[in-house]
Amino acid sequence: MSLPLIKLLRNAVLVSTCAWANTMMADSEIRPFIVSISDVQISDLSARLAQRRLPDQLRSDSWQYGTDTDYLDELLNYWQHEFDWRQQEQRLNALDQFVTEIEGLDIHFIHQRSPHPDATPLMLTHGWPGSVVEFLKIIDPLIRPELYGGEAADAFHVIAPSLPGFGFSEKPSEPGYNPEKMAHSLAALMQRLGYERYGLQGGDWGAIINRLHAARYPDRVIGLHSNFVLASPPADPEVLAQTPARDLTRREARQAFMNNESAYQQIQGTKPQTLGVGLNDSPAGLAAWILEKFHGWSDLPTGHPEDKFSKDELLTNISLYWFTQTITSSARIYYENRSTPLREPLGFVSVPTAGAIFPKEIYLTPKLWAEQSYNIVRWTEMPRGGHFAALEEPELLLADIRAFFKQIQQ
């Protein structure tokens, strides 16, 4: 019996026997999902990689002008000849995955329940250029903490959706899918799953969406854990003047760094469709565009991507974008964030909030500023790490998630 069929049967049994899903499945609202990329798609990728045409590179250049061509060629060669997508497909299909229609779009999500029935429901929300692949290192430790240095009381039921237009979720065909609308969609997903109270965790766009989720549904969200805390400077000049000099220095240093890193925001925020033509047609171009971010936004001791990420980890995420053809639809979140105004002011997030602050994050917000926008109850300055915390520093992130939810549920 094939793995997809085994998985389908296992999910069918799971759905028919679990009380949490039985009602939901009665009208086929939630459907089991299997990752299954065709041999034709894999062969097409290989052929395109074989025909790649990389640009020249200055002898003195490594990453200063963009993605290092020498390493990119090494990665592309590995992608063509050694990378095993079927193995990664099996890893994904070992997880319980589903799709359900929310506001006219099929939303894909991992729903991995803990064997501990009293576990806390926790939604993990990814960003760009990430995906649910970012969470593969932390899902099992979250649902079975006793096997990874934790206690049964630390257990979570994990829900990890693919954002609309990302990965295996459907692509919006109409404008307006800004982070606020995505937050409402994810709240509807949790309601459909029968979770009345739950936690949120995320970085990048995931953190922004979760912030809106918590602000709009404070009666449902028990805690917001963020590894990407954004907040504006305090409006009160007396409060602003109290900002520690160390925090201002670090913030300014990261802003100066991002001055040379933010061109992608301007392109994706204004002309994502034009960019998408090239990235959707060329796996080399797609890999270069995403790889540059994993290199530039991470805490790499020697400056090499494989200081923190294996080729398989990088390429699984890149392949997900390639096979689903979602690089264009995912990039549109930048455009929608600019062009679609919030329906209501964001306001203060009253939900208990934790900030996990990794030193090489692309933007650093002073704690004092965050306290003006969130109910900050935990603030952890991490010893190392950057933007892709779940994939880059999973143990540090896990420990902080556990400590925060234990703190607020005592």
Reported as a single tens digit per residue, the pLDDT across 171-190 is 999 999 999 999 999 999 99
Asked whether the predicted pLDDT for residue 329 surpasses 90, the reply is yes
Alpha carbons 388 and 394: distance in angstroms, whole number: 9
Condensed to tens digits (0 to 9), the pLDDT of residues 286-308 reads 999 999 999 999 999 999 999 99
Q: How confident is the model at residue 310 (pLDDT cuts 50, 70, 90)?
A: very high
Architecture of domain 33-408: 3-Layer(aba) Sandwich (3.40)
Which residue among 321, 334, 335, 374 is the active-site one?
A: 334
Asked whether the predicted pLDDT for residue 26 surpasses 80, the reply is no
Q: Which strand (E) or helix (H) includes residue 205?
A: helix 205-216
Q: How confident is the model at residue 332 (pLDDT cuts 50, 70, 90)?
A: very high
Respond yes or no: is residue 334 known to be catalytic: yes
- Give the predicted TM-score (pTM) of the model: 0.92
Q: What is the pLDDT of residue 36?
A: 97
Q: What would the two tokens of residue 141 be?
A: 């430790």
Average confidence (pLDDT) over 32-53: 98
Which residue among 108, 126, 157, 387 is the active-site one?
A: 387
Condensed to tens digits (0 to 9), the pLDDT of residues 189-241 reads 999 999 999 999 999 999 999 999 999 999 999 999 999 999 999 999 999 99
Question: Is residue 376 within 8 Å of residue 370, measured between CB atoms?
Answer: yes
Q: What is the pLDDT of residue 215?
A: 98
CA-nearest of 259, 193, 260 to 220 is 193
State yes or no: cis peptide before 129, omega within 30 of 0: yes
Asked whether the predicted pLDDT for residue 20 surpasses 50, the reply is no
Question: Is residue 93 within 8 Å of residue 7, measured between CB atoms?
Answer: yes
Average confidence (pLDDT) over 36-58: 97
Condensed to tens digits (0 to 9), the pLDDT of residues 348-380 reads 999 999 999 999 999 999 999 999 999 999 999
Alpha carbons 183 and 212: distance in angstroms, whole number: 6
Asked whether the predicted pLDDT for residue 96 surpasses 60, the reply is yes
Q: What is the pLDDT of residue 61?
A: 75
Asked whether the predicted pLDDT for residue 268 surpasses 90, the reply is yes
Condensed to tens digits (0 to 9), the pLDDT of residues 269-278 reads 999 999 999 9
Average confidence (pLDDT) over 389-409: 98
Q: What is the pLDDT of residue 76?
A: 98
Q: What would the two tokens of residue 147 be?
A: 């096997």
Q: What is the pLDDT of residue 2?
A: 38
Q: How confident is the model at residue 4 (pLDDT cuts 50, 70, 90)?
A: very low
Q: What is the pLDDT of residue 365?
A: 98
Q: What percent of the chain has pLDDT above 70? A: 93
Q: What percent of the chain has pLDDT above 90? A: 92
Q: What is the pLDDT of residue 283?
A: 98
Which residue among 204, 299, 312, 400 is the active-site one?
A: 204
Q: What is the pLDDT of residue 191?
A: 97
Q: What is the mean pLDDT of the chain?
A: 93
Q: What would the two tokens of residue 28 be?
A: 């086929």
Q: How confident is the model at residue 25 (pLDDT cuts 50, 70, 90)?
A: very low
How far, in Å, are 211, 244, 340, 354, 401 from residue 337 at the CA level? 14, 31, 6, 24, 28
Asked whether the predicted pLDDT for residue 19 surpasses 80, the reply is no
Q: What is the pLDDT of residue 15?
A: 35
- Domain ranges for the chain, please list them: 1-31, 33-408
CA-nearest of 99, 90, 83, 88 to 4 is 90
